Structure 1
Amino acid sequence: MKLTFVINDIATEKDNYTTIRLTRRAAAMGHDVSLVSLADLSYEADGSITADGVMPSRSDCKDDTEMLADLQREDAKRDRVCISEADVLMLRADPADEMLARPWAHSSSLLFAQLAAKQGVIVLNDPFRLTDASNKTYFQHYPAAIRPRTIISRDEKVITKFIEDEGGKAVIKPLQGSGGHGVFVITEGLGSNVNQMIEATLRDGYAIAQEYLPKAAEGDLRLITLNGRALKVDNTYACIRRYNETDDARSNISAGGKVEVVEPDADALRVAEMAGPKMIRDGMYMCGLDIVGDKMMEINVDTPGGLCMIEDLTEVDFSGAILEDLEHKVRMQECYGKGALGPHELAII
């Protein structure tokens, strides 16, 4: 299988990124793997999509640190990659990382990916739908029953009234961003600090204000989904609880949160089940659902992470299962003809 990952930049990849784990596992399984930057794509005169790519030179790296070192060394194996000839193109770039230095890069990469999809390449997640998911407004298209009450606005009065209506408790965050950056948890008694939090959030553009869920104090669940269903291998779900033992209310790993493996409860599995039809329809092949109680707080469709931690804690080969699923999709595509099956069809076979 020819597998290409679109990432932000090989220089900024880290050894705890899901992409590096998938790359190492794919190389060990004998697949032809390459990684390309979202800013290095080209549309050639013959209509093909190409990019300068970096490839693993080894298939026997003992861990992700060794794999990343192989990819980042000065004499790393590099070549021109014809993405149009790939079997699978996986989009693994975080748009939040491009907002300041290269605001054009992510949206442009999706347009290149759309061209590749039109040429019959299996592109995941679906680049046509990812353009609709460029910020957190996409989340509002999921069933209201599994979402917290939410407003999106740049009007301080609208946001202030929402917080008042919620009894002085709410969560506010930028419309764009990831990793818990710029998230404020508002509780009673903060006084004028609330105005400062709102002003700080609005400096980044639109703000989201959501109802405060008391169970969030216990952390949240990160549940990985594949083909619109909770990912499960050997009776183990790809799920962790993220929590913070400090006064910081954020449980994101990048914000200092801790993790433990947990079995998702009935509420969490119901959230995944309710979100499933839209994920399948939108071609959201691999996602990360952040769940508190019976509500989905966010859905990560660009670079769902946490897989490395989950695998290391459970010793379950989720990466191998994902790659075997991709192999199955490639076989089905070959059977029906390149480009004959769309992402939503490939998700249910």
Structure 2
Amino acid sequence: MKICFVLNDIATETSGTSVALMCMAHQRGHDVYAMGVGDFSFHHDAPISINATQVPKNTKTKSPAKYLEALQSNKARKKKIDSTALDVLFIRNNPTEEKGREWAEQAGVAFGRMIQQQDVLVLNDAYALSHAFIDKLYFEELPQEIKPDSIVTRDKEQLLDFWEKQNKKMVLKPLEGSGGQDVYLIDEHEKNVNQIIEHLSSQGYVIAQEFLPAVKDGDVRVLLLNGKVMEKDGEKAIIRRVAGEGEFRSNFKLGATADSSDLTPEMQRIVDLTAPKLIRDGLFFVGLDIVKDKLIEINVLSPGGMERFKDIGLPPFTDYVIEAIERKVEYKKQYKGQLSNRTLATMD
């Protein structure tokens, strides 16, 4: 299998979920390529080409960290490849991390759509990613039963009115953001509420969300594959993220720690109500962030957390993901154009 992973930038990539998946695909003997989101080239009379980087197949990489070291070293091979030679393009770049590179935000998905039209399997489905590109708005299409109360607007008066209705306790965050950046807990003691609203709304739309007291215990990241919770050897791909002392944001980038969690009936209810839409839309690999019985965020662009599984005694699950992709490539080969990319993307 020839598979190419789209990253923000190879030079700045860290040893997270994408690298762990690349390492596993490499260990399983596949032709694994990496590219930055700026490495596509369109030619009007030829298929899209890619300036790819490859760790030589005979390189032994015992861990994702060692794989990344090889990928970023001068031992890695740079080569221009024809996108139609690929079996799979796995879009893993995070647009919300493209500070100062606005041109890069939608490039991965846009070129992904074109490559998908060339009959290459694209994961997640590129048209689904286009639809869900602002994942906090995609989140709002899900059933209200599983979501906290919220409002999306740039209107300060509406945000203040929502605050009043929530007994002066709400969470404010940018509609397009990740990693807990610019996320505020606004309570009755907040003296700078007007300034915070003005700051956030000057950058774009703002989402105000009902504050969930259970967040004090952290949130739970549930990783889904083909609309189902990943499970291997009786273990489920679930990780609790516990915020640091004095912090309500449960983001690893902000110092949260990993802990184990069971899949509660409330979490399963959220999965059951979310899965039909994810499957219909062609979203292969998705992360759900849950606080007790409410879904607070959905990550369809570059869900992560797998690199933390070893900290809580879980299997890495990387082989589980790569095996699923291998099956899709085989289905595509056997059915010879009868299955759409969207169907293949979430087919077991």
TM range (shorter): over 0.9
**Cα distance change of structure 1 residues 198 and 45 upon mapping to structure 2, 3 Å threshold:** closer
Query: Shift in Å at residue 256 of structure 1?
Result: 1.1
Q: What residue is the counterpart of 1:71 in the other structure?
A: 71
Q: Which residue of 1 aligns with 2:4?
A: 4
* Closer, same or farther: CA 48–309 of 1 in aligned 2, 3 Å: same
In structure 2, what is the Cα distance between the partners aligned to 1:345 and 1:68? Answer: 29
- Aligned to 2:309, the other structure's residue is in SS state helix
- State the match for 1:105 in structure 2: 104
Whole-Å Cα distance in 2 between the matches of residues 81 and 71 of structure 1? 17
Kindly indicate whether the alpha-carbon contact (under 8 Å) linking 2:309 and 2:316 is maintained by their aligned counterparts in 1: no
Is 1:211 the equivalent of 2:205? no
Give, in angstroms, the shift of residue 77 of structure 1.
1.3
State the shift of 1:346 in Å.
4.5
Deviations 1:84-122 (A, max 9, x none): 221111000010122x42212232332211111112111
Match in the other structure for 1:228: 227
Distance 1:59 1:310 in 2: 25
- Alignment match, 1:86: 86
Deviation at 1:38, TM superposition (A): 1.1
**SS of 1:26 mapped into structure 2:** helix
| Residues in 1 aligned to 2:208 and 2:264: alpha-carbon distance in whole angstroms | 26
In structure 1, what residue type is equivalent to 2:62?
A: K
Q: Distance in 2 between matches of 1:217 and 1:194?
A: 22
Mark the runs of 5 or more structure 2 residues left unpaired by the alignment: none
Question: How far apart are the structure 2 equivalents of 1:247 and 1:127?
Answer: 39
In the TM superposition, 1:83-232 aligns within 5 A as 83-98=83-98, 100-135=99-134, 136-190=136-190, 192-232=191-231
Q: Give the deviation of 1:311 after TM superposition.
A: 4.2
Q: Secondary structure at the match of 1:322?
A: helix
Contact 2:55–2:75 (Cα < 8 Å) also in 1: no
Give the paired residue count: 346
The verdict on how the C-alpha distance between 1:244 and 1:317 changes in structure 2, with shifts beyond 3 A counting, is closer
- Alignment partner, residue 17 of structure 2: 18
How far is 1:195 from its partner?
A: 1.9
For 1:321, the aligned partner's letter is Y
In structure 2, the residue corresponding to 1:141 is in which secondary structure? coil
Per-residue CA deviations over 1:139-195 (Å, capped at 9, x if unaligned) read: 1111111111110111111100001001111100001110010000122322x2222
The answer (yes or no) to whether the contact 1:291–1:298 under 8 Å persists in 2 is: yes
Give me the identity figure in percent: 36
Code of the aligned partner of 1:180 = G
Structure 1 residue 126, shift from structure 2 partner: 1.2
Cα distance in 2 between the residues matched to 1:108 and 1:336: 30
The residue identity in structure 2 corresponding to 1:142 is L
1:193-234 CA distance string (max 9 Å, x none): 222322222232110000111111111000100011111111
Q: What residue is the counterpart of 2:266 in the other structure?
A: 267
- Give the deviation of 1:45 after TM superposition: 4.0
Displaced runs of 4 or more, over 6 A:
none
CA distance, structure 1, for counterparts of residue 251 and residue 209 of structure 2: 17
- Preserved contact between residue 87 and residue 121 of structure 2 (Cα < 8 Å): yes
| 8 Å CA contact retained: 1:28, 1:59 | no
- Number of the residue aligned with 2:60: 60
Q: Which amino acid aligns with 1:87?
A: D
Amino acid corresponding to residue 188 of structure 1 in structure 2: E
Bigger shift: residues 264-273 or 196-205: 196-205
Q: Does residue 323 of structure 1 match 2:292?
A: no
Normalising by structure 2, report the TM-score. 0.95
In the alignment, the residues of structure 2 paired with residue 48 and residue 338 of structure 1 have an alpha-carbon distance, to the nearest angstrom, of 19
Q: Contact between 1:122 and 1:343, CA under 8 Å: does it hold in 2? A: no
Structure 2 distance, partners of 1:120, 1:339, is: 12
Match of 1:34 in 2: 33
Cα distance in 2 between the residues matched to 1:11 and 1:23: 15
CA–CA distance in 2 between the matches of 1:346 and 1:11? Answer: 29
Distance apart, 1:82 and its partner CA: 1.9
Aligned twin of 2:256 = 257
- CA gap of 1:339–1:32, structure 2 versus 1, over 3 A, is farther
Contact 1:172 1:207 in 2 (8 A): yes
Q: Is the Cα contact below 8 Å between 2:244 and 2:255 reproduced in 1?
A: no
User: CA contact under 8 A between 1:268 and 1:291: conserved in structure 2?
Assistant: yes
* Alignment CA distance shift 1:40-1:335 (3 Å): same
